[in-house]
Amino acid sequence: ESLSQTVCTLCLTQKSASDYNNFDREFLSEKPKLSYSDKNLIESMDQSAFAGFSFINPKFEQILEK
């Protein structure tokens, strides 16, 4: 048996876009928290690492201003 066959037998298939069965219940019960973003740190980072990303949060500018 190949490694790919072994790995695939461990993978659970997702039944729908809202199927969260692969996540631990304890993790799912935690309240989400937004992390603080440092505008200076973000501006100092090489943004080319994000080239090709198809989503940009429409509230990104507002988040940075906080």
Q: Is residue 23 part of a domain?
A: no
Q: Is residue 26 part of a domain?
A: no
Q: Is residue 7 part of a domain?
A: no
Q: Is residue 65 part of a domain?
A: yes
Residue 43: domain span = 34-66
pTM, rounded to two decimals: 0.33
Q: Is residue 20 part of a domain?
A: no
Specify the number of domains making up the chain. 1
pLDDT tens-digit profile of 18-59?
888 888 889 999 998 888 888 898 889 888 888 888 887 788
Q: Is residue 61 part of a domain?
A: yes
Q: Give the CA distances from residue 24 to residues 13, 21, 55, 65, in Å, rounded to whole numbers and listed in that order.
A: 15, 8, 27, 34
Q: Is residue 18 part of a domain?
A: no
